[in-house]
Amino acid sequence: MPSASPSTSSGRPADLVSRLASPDRGARLRALRELKNQIIGNRTKKLAYLKLGAVPAVAAVLADASDDGGGDGDGSCCCRRHDLLVQSAAALGSFACGVDAGVRAVVDAGALPWLRRLLVSPDEKVVDSGARSLKMIYQSKLAPKYDFLDHQNLEFLLSLLNSKNDNVTGLGASIITHSCQTSAEQWALYEAGVFQKLVDLIGGSVSQRDASLESLTAIIRNNHEVTPKILEFENGRALNLIIKFTIDKSPRTRLLACACLIAVSKTSSRYVEGIELESKLIYRLLELLEDPGQVGDEASFALSSLIEEKEDLQKLAFEANAINKLCFHLQNGLSCPKRLQGILLALANICSKLEICRSKLLDLQAFDLVSDALRHDCTDIRVAACICLRSLSRSVKNLSAGYFMNETVIIPLLQLLHDPSISVQLAALGAISNIVIDFTRRKSNFIHCGGVKLLAELSMAMDPVVRSHSLRALKNLTFLADRKCKEVVLSEITASSLASLIRDPESAVQEQALALVRNLVDGCVQSVDYAFTENGIILDAIGRQLQYASKAEIGIQGMYALSNIASGSKVQKDAVMDQLFQHGGMNTQPFIMRFLHSNDNQLRTASIWVLINLTTSYCPGAAGRVLKLRNAGIILQLKSMTNDPCLDVKVVQKIYHLNVH
């Protein structure tokens, strides 16, 4: 493969870099021009020269030329100074163009203040050069954040936007797009009249228009105060202008206009109702998908953003034939990873709530393409494929038919649980959590592929989110599962680990662990025995955890687990009674009393179920248990709940009374 070190007609690259420090200005200028012409367009050379320390050297030339006030007095010196400024700025801009390491190097070399100074030069070419370079830098996330809340900074920004120079106004817009994030900043920009300038610039040249549309989006995004004001401005002139550009000749302009309107729709939907804007947006975006370049890549992301969590829009997209179009692109072999990621995410979003969408995708035979993407080299694509699978596996119809519980799906998914990226693991866990709710009882497939072992391993992972998500998957797996399945789960995860997960520092993990126990002990009476493995370590952990439980969710799962256990034999019921009373010491109220007083309806309901199962009159030992409960005041409390505001609680309370008498 070709070597990375570039050779030039005038010597080795390291020489070129050292010539940048030459005492002779003419030599420095020649070296600069050579360097600039080598790196522009050439990513490989940029990286190579970065390693040779070219950026600090160029920054030094820029600083030196900026500082220099006087000179030898002859015209050529001034000219040379101008050239040095222009060329060094251009070289720095090129290093920063699309190369993160380049941006970092330019920033670290302290070149930004020097570049900013160029903007006030009387020489138009110098200004152009400085503006272009700064614009390149601000297109990267690594550019330093611009503080809009500082008064001087805001003034400077306004002066940029007021300039007659296209490149300078473009820079102003880029800075806004890059740095405007909080609502305080958006408000500050609005108050300073920035958005008015941007709306004017939208009517300007192509580059001004595109840059302004992007900036406006940044100011509008998620801001409920600023957005209405911008839209009401001059009777909706701004809104109409943006809508007009959704049908412009330039695909990039159309996309940026759509993105702006999407931001509007997500912030203030009332501007969008009644003008069928969202429907139009969907059509425009689907049409933009056809663009072969970057615009087409980004169109699917915009579509996802528009329809996410919105069932009505997903339906509109379905009616606009979105699924056909997206699957068509999927089928045509995408060489660009970004595009593939976008399409998968768009499909994930459109299928997230509606069964008609999922059915359509499966009908179109696109499922294999989605599961193929699980093995893709690119991390983002693997994540997107998992998310898409998660949406598809929400289809109860197909879960019931066992569509997903086969090796072509399970094996790659399980492999992803070993993925170096945590986001891939989490995304895979999300899909697995759904898939294991298989109603055909083909869970043995999953077990044979080593799924339970992997999930059990992950339940002890360092990352708490991974722990809770893997427990959730196990919980779903054990839902209505047969004995064989439950035994495998318990043997892989082990009672002692499960007990320790019930006492995990993270509440989300505790909740899922308790829910897993609930499902394990649910079903036939023999299942209750699972809570007593290893000397009842699990039951004991439940009791301890409930004593200290502060969140209702934890109490709910724990109480349902206890109520399932309390449906067992006398010994098992007595063991549950012990748990209710033994923790917390003499002066602490039993947790069940606390729960009966809770504001959470489900928690009260679950607690009553425990009592129902403990006091079932035909079970041996019932009288003794009732007595103990009465002595603790629990029966009295129960009686007082006849008029509980929650219907579920009232019903359960009635059942208790029927039970006991």
Closest distance between other proteins and the C-beta of residue 201, in Å? 12
CB 604 within 8 A of CB 598: yes
Q: Given the rule CB under 8 A, which of 3-11, 304-312, 318-326, 516-524 is the region that contacts other proteins?
A: 3-11
Provide the minimum distance between the beta carbon of 146 and other proteins in the complex, in angstroms, as a whole number.
21
Backbone phi, psi, residue 11, to 5°: 115, -175
Q: Does residue 3 belong to the site contacting other proteins (CB under 8 A)?
A: yes
Quickly count helices (H) and strands (E) in the chain. 41, 0
Determine the interface stretch with other proteins among 2-10, 414-422, 466-474, 624-632 (rule: CB under 8 A): 2-10
In the window 313-372, what residues touch other proteins (CB under 8 A)?
A: 335
Number of residues that bind other proteins (CB under 8 A): 27
Quick note: the x/- pattern for other proteins over 496-535, rule CB under 8 A, is ----------------------------------------
Residue 536 binds to other proteins (criterion: CB under 8 A): no
User: How far apart (Å, rounded) are the C-alpha atoms in residues 390 and 380?
Assistant: 15
Two tokens, residue 78: 């001034």
Which range, of 174-182, 199-207, 316-324, 565-573, touches other proteins by CB under 8 A? 199-207
The yes or no reply on residue 43 touching other proteins (CB under 8 A) is: yes
Least Cβ distance, residue 36 to other proteins (angstroms): 6
Q: Does residue number 201 form part of the binding site for other proteins (CB under 8 A)?
A: no
Mark the segment that binds other proteins (CB under 8 A) among 38-46, 181-189, 439-447, 526-534.
38-46
Which amino acid, one-letter code, is at 210? D
Angle at 158 between CA 154 and CA 159, to 5 degrees: 120
**In this chain, which of 10, 162, 205, 582 binds other proteins, going by CB under 8 A?**
205
Counted residue by residue, the chain has a size of 661
Question: Within a 10 A sphere around the Cβ of 200, how many other Cβ atoms?
Answer: 14
User: Angle at the Cα of 157 (from 152 to 160), degrees rounded to 5?
Assistant: 130
Residue 19 or 475 with smaller CB distance to other proteins: 19
User: From CA 517, how far away is CA 539, in angstroms rounded?
Assistant: 9
Answer yes or no whether residue 631 interacts with other proteins by CB under 8 A. Answer: no
Minimal distance, residue 37 CB to other proteins, in Å: 6
Nearer to other proteins, 32 or 538 (CB): 32
Instruction: Please report, for residues 101, 108, 140, 174, 618, the alpha-carbon distance to residue 146 in angstroms, rounded to integers and kept in the order given.
Output: 20, 16, 13, 11, 74
Q: How far apart are CA 420 and CA 369, in angstroms?
A: 23
Residues 264-303 that bind other proteins (CB under 8 A): none
Cβ proximity to other proteins, 84 vs 307, nearer residue: 84
By the rule CB under 8 A, 136 interacts with other proteins: yes
Single out the residue of 86, 96, 34 nearest to residue 61, CA to CA. 86
d(CA 121, CA 340): 45
Nearer to other proteins, 200 or 457 (CB): 200
Which region, judged by CB under 8 A, interacts with other proteins, from 59-67, 200-208, 506-514, 629-637? 200-208
| Strand, helix or coil for residue 8 | strand
Pick the binder of other proteins from 31, 57, 97, 345 (CB under 8 A). 97
| Binding range to other proteins, per CB under 8 A, among 86-94, 231-239, 270-278, 538-546 | 86-94
Burial (CB < 10 A; 0-12, 13-18, 19+), residue 35, is buried
Rounded (to 5) percent helix, strand, coil in the chain: 75, 0, 25
Please state, in angstroms and rounded to a whole number, the distance separating the CA atoms of residues 398 and 367.
12
Please count the other Cβ atoms lying within 10 Å of the Cβ belonging to residue 347: 31
Closer by beta carbon to other proteins, 88 or else 613:
88
* The binder of other proteins chosen from 166, 200, 419, 648 (CB under 8 A): 166
Q: Rule CB under 8 A: say whether 462 interacts with other proteins.
A: no
Binding flag, residue 494, other proteins (CB under 8 A): no
Between the two ends of the chain, the Cα-to-Cα distance in Å is: 87
Q: Pick between residue 3 and residue 631 the one whose CB is nearest to other proteins.
A: 3
Coil, strand or helix at 11: strand
Residue closer to other proteins, measured from CB, 7 or 631: 7
Q: Which stretch, 36-44, 219-227, 310-318, 342-350, contacts other proteins (CB under 8 A)? A: 36-44
Nearest to other proteins of 90, 239 (CB atom): 90
* From 21, 79, 149, 206, residue interacting with other proteins (rule: CB under 8 A): 206
The interface region with other proteins, picked from 29-37, 64-72, 114-122, 482-490 by CB under 8 A, is 29-37
Stretch that binds other proteins, among 31-39, 296-304, 396-404, 491-499 (CB under 8 A): 31-39
Rounded CA separation 149/190 (Å)? 12
37 binds other proteins (CB under 8 A): yes
Of the candidate residues 14, 24, 44, 309, the single one contacting other proteins (CB under 8 A): 44
Q: Are 305 and 265 in contact (CB under 8 A)?
A: no
Q: Which residues, including other chains, have CB under 8 Å from residue 143's CB and lie 6 or more apart?
A: 103, 107, 137, 178
User: Burial letters for 9-21: b for 16+ Cβ neighbours within 10 Å, e otherwise?
Assistant: eeeebeebbebbe
Give yes or no for residue 1 binding other proteins (CB under 8 A): yes
Q: Which of 6, 53, 464, 621 binds other proteins (CB under 8 A)?
A: 6
d(CA 477, CA 453): 13
Specify the residue, 34 or 553, whose C-beta has the smaller distance to other proteins.
34
One of 71, 98, 144, 203 touching other proteins (CB under 8 A): 98
Closest CA to 232 of 280, 202, 190: 190
Q: Which is nearer to other proteins, 2 or 122 (CB)?
A: 2
| Short-list 253, 310, 249, 244, CA closest to 280 | 244
CB of 61 to other proteins, least distance (A): 16
| Nearest to other proteins of 33, 503 (CB atom) | 33
E strands in 440-544: none
Task: Tell me how far, at minimum, the Cβ of 124 lies from other proteins, in Å.
Answer: 11
User: Does position 165 bind other proteins by CB under 8 A?
Assistant: no
Phi, psi for 364 (deg, rounded to 5): -80, 5
Task: Tokens for 395, please give them.
Answer: 């289809």
Interacting residues toward other proteins by CB under 8 A? 1-3, 6-7, 33, 36-37, 40-44, 90, 93-94, 97-98, 129, 132, 136, 166, 205-208, 335
